[in-house]
Amino acid sequence: MSVEKIISDWKKKVFQPVYWLEGEEDFFINKAVNFAEHHILPESEASFNLTIFYGKDANWADIINACRRYPMFAERQVVLLKEAQQMRDVEKLESYIENPLASTVFVVSYKEKKLDARKKFAKLVKEKGVLLTTKKIYDKELPEWTQQLIQSKGLTINPRALALLVDHIGNDLTRIENEIDKLSVNLGNRTVISEDDIEQYIGVSKDYNVFELQSALAAKDLARAITIVQYFEANPKAAPIQLVLPSLYSFFSKVFMVFGANTSDEKTIATSIGVNPYFIKDYVQAAKLYTYPGVENVLLLLHAYNLKSVGVGNAGTEDASLLKEMLVKMMT
């Protein structure tokens, strides 16, 4: 079951007695817990029927006693156990989960960990309640996930603006949603997010960013690439080298895959290497201009300069100077 399905059920007043939310991605866990805390019960009922525990300080017997209470002047009560991964004797909740109270909605937040599926406790949680195991969104999945989130809010975004947004924020789902909400407020009656909106409201230059650097490299436009790096040098927070190098490595890794596609059809190549067809021309152009040995050399240079960026074989050269040196070697 997904977090969207859980929240959808809660909105319809469909409840299970136990919800165990675990795994690597805090965003989905926080989303469900926040809804449970603020929206399952009306405000008039929450003061009597909402109980919150924190794993580090919680006593298992107190949690069970709270869960076994009947709601006051209401149909149900909500008991939240946050940060349950910090609770040493969490499995002592077994006696309650085995026989939960129908009028209690017990929600457990168990972040960055998973129950051992082989153990009785995990099997019991799955049998008696809802077990949601979250996983990190891979970087390659971020554009699609972000686009779906934008659509769920009644908005659309053009491909270049989407690339700017995702490249700038990275794999921080909470921040992505916050920035989209900010955009939604500032758009007014408009529903399409553009590059200008990303620049104005999020602070990402539409002309000087990692995405534009990739385009300059794809065209072997050294002057343009150096200009972008100079912008990074003047604005250190815009694109630190720790962001630039992995992005370029990802780009040229996919350029390398173009040679194995064995076709000149751009749509087929885009599908083969996992790239939005809107951007495939940059990848195809780079493959033609650099050739197979050239792309191999670029990947080796990126690896070498990644080591230099963390101090290996580097006697204190500034990040911008490293990038400029690397760009010259790539293109010559």
Beta bridge partners of 20: 108, 131
* SS percent in the chain: helix, strand, coil, step 5: 60, 10, 30
Across residues 248-267, what is the average pLDDT?
A: 94
Whether residue 314 is predicted with pLDDT greater than 90 in this model: the reply is no
- The better pLDDT of the pair 238, 102 is held by 102
Say yes or no: domain 3-134 is CATH 1.10.150.80.
no
Predicted pLDDT of residue 167: 87
pTM given for the model: 0.81
pLDDT at site 14: 96
In the numeric block, which tokens belong to residue 248? Answer: 């370029």
According to CATH, where is 1.10.8.60 located in the chain?
139-202
For 210-331, CATH number?
1.20.272.10
CATH 3.40.50.300 residue ranges of the chain are: 3-134
pLDDT tens for residues 103-156?
Answer: 999 999 999 989 988 999 999 999 999 999 999 998 889 999 999 999 999 999
The predicted pLDDT at position 65 comes to 97
Spatial contact of 61 and 93, defined as CB atoms under 8 Å apart = no
Put residue 189 in one of left, alpha, beta given phi > 0 → left and psi -120 to 50 → alpha: alpha
pLDDT of 178 reads 95
Q: Which pLDDT does position 186 carry in this prediction?
A: 95
- Hey, what are 171's tokens? 């794999």
Residue 41 — very low, low, confident or very high, per pLDDT cuts 50/70/90?
A: very high
Give the mean model confidence (pLDDT) for residues 22-37.
96
How far is Cα 300 from Cα 113, in angstroms, rounded to an integer?
Answer: 36
Architecture of domain 139-202: Orthogonal Bundle (1.10)
Across the range 12-32, mean pLDDT stands at 96
Res 1: pLDDT:
78
Percent of the chain with pLDDT over 70: 100
The mean predicted confidence, pLDDT, of the chain is 94
pLDDT mean over 265-276: 92
For 145-193, what is each residue's pLDDT tens digit? 999 999 999 999 999 999 999 988 888 999 999 999 999 999 999 999 9
CA distances from 10 to 5, 38, 138 (A): 9, 12, 28
The tens digit of pLDDT for each residue in 68-94 reads 999 999 999 999 999 999 998 999 999
Report pLDDT digits (tens) over 91-104: 999 999 999 999 99
* Helices of type H across 39-157: 43-49, 60-68, 94-98, 120-128, 142-152
The answer to whether the Cα torsion of 156, 159, 160, 166 is positive or negative is: positive
What integer pLDDT is reported at residue 139 of this predicted model? 85
- pLDDT for residue 71: 96
Question: How much is the pLDDT for 315?
Answer: 78
Residues facing residue 53 across a β-bridge: 81
Mean per-residue pLDDT, 27-37:
97
- Location of structure tokens 């909105």: 11
Kindly report, as residue ranges, where domains of CATH 1.20.272.10 are found in the chain.
210-331
